[in-house]
Structure 1
Amino acid sequence: MTTRLCRKAGFPLPGVKFFIIFMMAAFISGGAAAQTVIKGTVKAHKELLKFATVRIKGTNNVVYTGKDGKYILETSQQGEVTLAVSMLGYQEQLRRLSLQPGAELTADWQLEPVSVALGEVIVSASRRPEVLDNVPSSVTVLSKRTIENNLAITSDVTEILAYEVPGLAPSAQTNSNVGQSLRGRSVLVMIDGIPQSTPLRNGEVDIRSIDPAVLERVDVLKGATAIYGNGATGGLINYITLTPKEEGVISGKTSVNLTGSLTSPKNSLGGRISQLLAGKYKKFDYTVGGVYEQTGEFKDANGRILGNNYSLGETESYNAFVKLGLEPTSRQRIQLMYNFYRSVQNSNYTLVNGNYATGQPATGVLGKQAGEPTGSKGNHNLQLSYRADSLIGGTSLNADAYYESRDDIFYVSFGRFEGGDGQSHTLAEKQGLRFMFTSPLLKLGTLSYGADVIHDVTSQPLIDGRIWVPEMKMFNIAPFAETQWTLLQHLIVKGGVRIEKVRIGVDDYTTLRITNASGATVTPSFNVTGGNLNYTATLFNAGLRYNRFPLFTPYASFSQGFSVADIGLALRDAKVDNINKINTEAVLVNNYELGFVSKYKRIRFELTGFISTSKLGAEMIYDVNTDLFNVNRTPERVYGFEAALQYSPLHNLDLSASYSYVEGKADTGRTGNYNMYLNGRRIAAPKLAGTIQYRPLSTLELRLQYMGIQTRDRFDMIAGNTYKGNEGIVKGYDLFNLNASYRATRSTVLTVGIDNLFNEDYFPARSQWFMIPGFYSKGRGRSFNIGVTVSY
């Protein structure tokens, strides 16, 4: 029967047929035998972990643990491989395995929560990758996980940083970061080392320069530093963008959020969508991201519209991000990065001024806003970088070229300018080139040396074309060298020098006549002869850190910072006919820091004290009679301390707390007697912050966040129950945020966030010390953020 069927079907004769069947069976059994099976269980403490990722590094072999914490991974890989197990909130673990065809291996895992000891975090404190435990100064690093936790509540990066960074002044919850100083001085904001700040005409809108969804981490270096150049007299904030970590050709994450007010939901609903794609193929990798957000009306604890001067209510934000990488060899990397950010307010309300004397907050009434929408009209960053390791003598090279341009639009000033109302915007364009070599020294140290070159063109015209601040063209070249040694195994010694050479060119220009509220001339219009302003400064830094005993790791540092002192402000308010007669001398800051880190089991405590001095100040003084800001150039001394504690009493419970205090005084008589307190624009009220993070299940995380702003009362009241400009008393307030994240499936996470949990009715610190009627706005009341994120 079989033979007949085979012939009918045209099959070979039985002998051949049996041979074919035998070969097919051998092939099938041989293929099955070639598979290696790895199985096991993943736990944390005694809890079985669901949705943990088990992957063979460098391949697409990946599985996930089930409800019982077990996994089975089948692979055709042979020989030595690295097996990796990871899960959000836990440290990744690696294990080398030797795979034999047909073998069955068991690999069980015990994961540990992400440690509170940050010794392995890499930072940009020396412009090259460095272990945090080797940095002899105070640094705060916001990890990707910390950023994502905060994004479950708000996308406002000024608010995120205020909660997470000791020493940074509180946010005003607006597009402007006026007064959000770091340790009482200006902060230099960067994206992958590209300057976002505009020290030539500081519009104080640089912190909101990128959407946090495309960030890998944020490095905050506190205290004056010259490591990246002009502007960092209080420190720097460096946004580090995403680079793909997965080995697959394509992976992605889609997030959708719904936001709104819980005090008065009407017209408050907003939405946000974020899409990220990343992958690696052979020597090429890429990351592509897009974010769009539209907010609804922002309301206070009583359900009233917040004053809309730079408010983030009714704001449209866009972020587009691309990063392409190529590694021709294991020792080289070429990378191209581009980011575009735009955030503008399109409000249906016109401003109703507040009144500090009566406590009446600024609000809004229905009507069309005057002028163009305020905010960041467009911020472009383009960077091409190259890294080469192990060159001659073990030297490495890091080089990059970049381009940055931005257009930031401010509110309309009514009746202030000659010719009527005026709305200004800062236009800034930078091109820069940097290179740095790092060479080993006797196996005990390194020497880094190179140079920065930047060309910066900044101006502040009015939207209608009238010139308020003329174009300032800065050319800055700065060679530098820094060395670091490890002596006696545990003593880190660091020192460096940087030479700043700056030339700022200004053409002849004509000032605008400025009037007061009654139309009287405050400053007349006249011609000013331009020219060149030249600066040269040699800056030093030195630091020590002793890592012998984890229980007490002391460090000390001295660093200098350099900044041109808001040249544009001096030019627009010029009262002389030649720029060489204007006091435009640069600010040189000396920063001294002493601190220690103490680690014991799962406790980490850090205490840092600091003092910074400058012979010339840059305090902004507001004159209520002229409605102008003037710069006070007297000597200054700023001092304070910060304390930070992290503790994990249980494997699923993390606690953290921080306290920061800063104070500053000016020597008005230049006699060595620092007799006048610096105002609120420079010095923030003491800040207490804390977080409780609890994981009752491996799939559920709860996070309660607190920030308390304490009272600062340093100045006498004047007539009318008010204070001089920027000197208003800051009365304390307490804010709580709550968010929860639940991993519904291995690829889906649900989040719920509540901002201002207890609906605190308060004025943010800036509203209180600023006192300007149009900015005397309350803080946002209780609001919600509901989101879903799908990864693939």
Structure 2
Amino acid sequence: MKKIILIVTVFLLNLLRVHAQNVKVEGYVKDKKSEIPYVTVSLLGQKVQTDSRGYYSLYIKSNVPFKIDINAVGYKTFTQHILSVKNDTTINVALEALSNTLDDVVISTSRKPEDIRNVTTSVSIVNKKKLEKEMAINPDLSAILANQVPGFAPTAQTGNNVGQNLRGRPMLVMIDGVSQSSPLRNAEVDLRSIDPSVLERIEVVKGATAIYGNGAAGGLVNYITMVPDTGARFAGKTQINLNGSLVKVKNAEGGRINQMFYGKLGKFDYVVSGMYEQTGEYKDAKGDVVGPNYSLGETDSYNAFAKFGYAPAKNQRIQLTYNTYSSLQNSNFTLVNGNLATGQKATGVLGKPLGIPTGVDYNHNLNLSYKIDSTFLNSSLNVDVYYETRKDVFYVSLGRFDGGDGQSLAKNDKKGARLFLETPILNLDFLKARIAYGADFMKDKTAQPLVDGRVWVPTMDMTNIAPFAQADFNILRKLVFKTGLRYENVNIAVDDYRTLRTTGANNSTITPSFDVTGGNLKYSTYLFNAGLRYNQFNVFSPFVSFSQGFSVMDIGLALRDAKVNSIDKINTDAVKVNNYEAGFESRIAGLTFSASGYISTSKLGIEVVYDPATGLFNTARNPEKIYGFELAADYRLLDELGLSASYSYTEGKRDIDKNGKFNDDGDLYLNGRRISAPKVTASVSYSPLKVLDLTLNYTGINSRNRFEKNSNGVYNGNEGAVKAYHLFSFAGIYQVKKNTKLSLGVDNIFNQDYFPARAQWFMQPGFYSKGRGTAVNFGISVSY
């Protein structure tokens, strides 16, 4: 018995001694702003990855010298020698960003944070610094995206984004992954869904994507909202701007105020923000009022935003986000149509406009998410539930409906849930593999009634269920291979309805009013994607990809223009896009250069064409082929001097005879609503002092002329020739004190007198307006 007690005692003492030799080392890896996810930490032969919040932990022997190494793309390598540790120890590391790096982490390509150099498709990121500079000039998101993103069509400087697409196809606009778009009735107003002051960055994924499915045939724009960038319990920022025309100041003055509070209270963090803006009259280069149809002049906008986060444990986070946005034009002018034949611009005269104010009446977003890292099988889990509702008001159509006027609304109401899991399946030195999987569920109700209650587009009730799986392989840390599959299952219910009689000259009937039998429209398809990228050399990092996109066509447009008495007789077939892309990125000293070429094909497209006989726009359904290329360069000439430039070219055609060829005599080019003119951008940033940042921007829209004039000597709608124009803008930001900044922005510095691209190709008298002349924006912000 004594021997047994002795043996047990010796065993326990040895067990305690062995356990005592192991201590826990843990901490967070951060940069100046926030934690860095998925960074490799090496220590005594062990390698671990930080989780989505930058946290790592591992066990080592006590009283042993060791070296900790951290390597992250876009940051200087961190190395620290430590003599030894006796007890559990926390080692927090702050990495220093390299001076010549693009934004290194992107979420929208695969729904999880990943290194942008592991992405196998074209991505553009408008980071916080770029947003700050652009907002110093003009806070309009449609203008910011047009200036900053290659392949993005030029802005029309109006409250809607008709014709402003990605690579010639419709895009999906999201806020933190929640769709603001509806493929059921593409009202083309979704870019202006939130105020940029609450954004951390904007991620733009170009080309068809199978990751997000329905509606993302041309790519996606994801507005990523901010999180607190301080450990303080309470912090805030107040910003005030004054803006207006420099051509003719009278009645052009406007202002903007933004108040924000944020901080961290133990396991809680919060951001609360409110913005109100009122613009004055928009004046063109001659000092005349810009035509008031959808003009951003005389517009009242507000945005309220709140985000609350709670971390019950180091690997968990619960987050609730709410945002509401409104932007309505309250103009004192009535429209004076332009003259397409003589080139006379549209403008306005004092008077009460017809109808109710146009623009975004409201857009409410509510999103609840739960994230957990390192759960079963080291998986991560992300669950979201959301609700979004919006109402947009359009201009009055004169004499169109039953011989009278009509003003329509777009109403959209959606709710949904997303389940996303990611599991590592291999973690070898030469091969790492992860699989992401889950499902999307969404209910979307969309309708387009008239303000007076008449039904123009009946309520369309869509149920969309889409399971998906995506696999990522990293071979020898140099070769990245991604592939995935998504299944779209869509059901759209439409009740019986009655079309509206539309009229032309002398109250003549163009389309009669008649009953249409409703029913269910069903779609199901698989979407496949695959991509490869080779990162052996910084000087040449090539990629190739194939991805399929899917979108139900603009169902509402087809239903309101019905020529038959049952929806099962209307051509409502969905659009499935095949996108092929190849490109490369080069990083040499202070230069980053990227190039990509793409081809996008679909057996069926949606082209909105103008019928000069009726004055109405109809849809044409033909096979389509779109192709183009993009070039972009950033060069850090000196620490205080940076240069950047880009060039975008897109072209597209319709196969009218459907023989698989696009160069026959009868085949047609896609019009300006789909294909934008070539675009050139450039900027010079100079910081002669650490407290002073000066930027000069250039945006050039080149010419495009693909169609002939009609018998009246003018181009048909959507087919107008675009004449080149060149715009320069300036942003200066001066940090007066540690917590105080002054900003000065000047738009259209040289007061260029021009028609924006959309006014030229749209060829509609009411939208034939000049662009805004020289305008100034002065701001002051105080942080505390």
> Structure 2-normalised TM-score?
0.87
Query: Which segment drifts farther, 669-678 or 264-273?
Result: 669-678
1:233 to 196, 212, 217: 217
Residues 55 and 221 from structure 1, CA distance in 2 versus in 1: closer, same or farther, beyond 3 angstroms?
Answer: closer
The answer to whether structure 1 residue 136 and structure 2 residue 120 are counterparts is yes
Offset of residue 225 of structure 1: 0.7
The answer to whether structure 1 residue 743 and structure 2 residue 727 are counterparts is no
Question: What is the CA–CA distance in structure 2 between the aligned matches of 1:309 and 1:97, rounded to whole Å?
Answer: 66
Offset of residue 718 of structure 1: 1.7
Offset of residue 669 of structure 1: 0.3
Q: In the alignment, which residue of structure 1 is the partner of 2:500?
A: 512
The answer to whether structure 1 residue 171 and structure 2 residue 155 are counterparts is yes
The answer to whether structure 1 residue 261 and structure 2 residue 249 are counterparts is no
Q: How does 1:290-689 map to 2 (within 5 A)?
A: 290-418=274-402, 420-443=404-427, 444-674=432-662, 675-689=667-681
Question: What is the CA–CA distance in structure 1 between the aligned matches of 2:728 and 2:97, rounded to whole Å?
Answer: 25
For 1:227, give the aligned amino acid.
I
2:722 to 720, 723, 730: 730
Question: What is the CA–CA distance in structure 2 between the aligned matches of 1:452 and 1:694, rounded to whole Å?
Answer: 45
Query: Which segment drifts farther, 191-200 or 224-233?
Result: 224-233
State, as a whole percentage, how many aligned pairs show the same letter: 58
Question: What is the CA–CA distance in structure 2 between the aligned matches of 1:112 and 1:282, rounded to whole Å?
Answer: 26
Offset of residue 442 of structure 1: 1.3
Q: In the alignment, which residue of structure 1 is the partner of 2:782?
A: 790
Offset of residue 116 of structure 1: 3.5
For 2:406, give the aligned amino acid.
G
Residues 95 and 791 from structure 1, CA distance in 2 versus in 1: closer, same or farther, beyond 3 angstroms?
Answer: farther
Three-state SS of the structure 1 residue aligned to 2:184 is: helix
The answer to whether structure 1 residue 223 and structure 2 residue 215 are counterparts is no
Q: In the alignment, which residue of structure 2 is the partner of 1:182?
A: 166
Q: In the alignment, which residue of structure 1 is the partner of 2:761?
A: 769
CA contact (8 A) 1:503 1:533 kept: yes
For 2:120, give the aligned amino acid.
P
Deviation beyond 4 Å, 4+ runs, structure 1: 53-57, 90-98, 110-114
Question: What is the CA–CA distance in structure 1 between the aligned matches of 2:438 and 2:95, rounded to whole Å?
Answer: 42
Three-state SS of the structure 2 residue aligned to 1:152 is: helix
Question: What is the CA–CA distance in structure 1 between the aligned matches of 2:106 and 2:559, rounded to whole Å?
Answer: 42
Q: How does 1:10-49 map to 2 (within 5 A)?
A: none
Q: Deviations over 1:101-132 (max 9, x none)?
A: xxxxxxxxx99886332263333210111110
Three-state SS of the structure 1 residue aligned to 2:374 is: coil
The answer to whether structure 1 residue 717 and structure 2 residue 732 are counterparts is no
Three-state SS of the structure 2 residue aligned to 1:568 is: helix
Offset of residue 575 of structure 1: 0.4
Q: Deviations over 1:54-78 (max 9, x none)?
A: 9999xxxxxxxxxxxxxxxxxxxxx
The answer to whether structure 1 residue 690 and structure 2 residue 682 are counterparts is yes
Q: In the alignment, which residue of structure 2 is the partner of 1:27?
A: none
5+ unaligned residues in a row in structure 1: which ranges? 1-52, 58-89, 99-109
Query: Which segment drifts farther, 228-237 or 579-588?
Result: 228-237
Offset of residue 673 of structure 1: 2.1
Q: Deviations over 1:712-757 (max 9, x none)?
A: 0111122232112211000000000011111100000001100000
Question: What is the CA–CA distance in structure 2 between the aligned matches of 1:114 and 1:250, rounded to whole Å?
Answer: 30
Question: What is the CA–CA distance in structure 2 between the aligned matches of 1:546 and 1:115, rounded to whole Å?
Answer: 23
Question: What is the CA–CA distance in structure 1 between the aligned matches of 2:146 and 2:384, rounded to whole Å?
Answer: 30
Q: In the alignment, which residue of structure 2 is the partner of 1:9?
A: none
Question: What is the CA–CA distance in structure 2 between the aligned matches of 1:54 and 1:629, rounded to whole Å?
Answer: 52
Residues 481 and 413 from structure 1, CA distance in 2 versus in 1: closer, same or farther, beyond 3 angstroms?
Answer: same
Residues 112 and 720 from structure 1, CA distance in 2 versus in 1: closer, same or farther, beyond 3 angstroms?
Answer: farther
Q: Deviations over 1:427-464 (max 9, x none)?
A: 00000100011000111110011000000000000011
Residues 384 and 775 from structure 1, CA distance in 2 versus in 1: closer, same or farther, beyond 3 angstroms?
Answer: same
**Number of residue pairs matched?**
697
Q: In the alignment, which residue of structure 1 is the partner of 2:68?
A: none
The answer to whether structure 1 residue 204 and structure 2 residue 188 are counterparts is yes
Offset of residue 229 of structure 1: 2.2
For 1:309, give the aligned amino acid.
N
Question: What is the CA–CA distance in structure 1 between the aligned matches of 2:80 and 2:755, rounded to whole Å?
Answer: 57
Question: What is the CA–CA distance in structure 1 between the aligned matches of 2:710 and 2:174, rounded to whole Å?
Answer: 40
CA contact (8 A) 1:123 1:141 kept: no
Three-state SS of the structure 2 residue aligned to 1:571 is: helix
CA contact (8 A) 1:113 1:652 kept: no
Residues 758 and 582 from structure 1, CA distance in 2 versus in 1: closer, same or farther, beyond 3 angstroms?
Answer: same
The answer to whether structure 1 residue 701 and structure 2 residue 685 are counterparts is no
Three-state SS of the structure 1 residue aligned to 2:440 is: strand
Three-state SS of the structure 2 residue aligned to 1:738 is: strand
CA contact (8 A) 2:403 2:503 kept: no
Q: In the alignment, which residue of structure 1 is the partner of 2:231?
A: 247
CA contact (8 A) 1:123 1:131 kept: no
The answer to whether structure 1 residue 123 and structure 2 residue 107 are counterparts is yes
The answer to whether structure 1 residue 157 and structure 2 residue 141 are counterparts is yes
For 2:557, give the aligned amino acid.
L
Query: Which segment drifts farther, 711-720 or 524-533?
Result: 711-720
CA contact (8 A) 1:416 1:517 kept: no
Offset of residue 623 of structure 1: 1.5
Question: What is the CA–CA distance in structure 1 between the aligned matches of 2:116 and 2:33, rounded to whole Å?
Answer: 28
Three-state SS of the structure 2 residue aligned to 1:421 is: strand
* Largest Rg, 1 or 2: 1
Q: In the alignment, which residue of structure 1 is the partner of 2:267?
A: 283
Three-state SS of the structure 1 residue aligned to 2:131 is: helix
5+ unaligned residues in a row in structure 2: which ranges? 1-30, 36-73, 83-93
Question: What is the CA–CA distance in structure 1 between the aligned matches of 2:368 and 2:612, rounded to whole Å?
Answer: 47
The answer to whether structure 1 residue 270 and structure 2 residue 254 are counterparts is yes
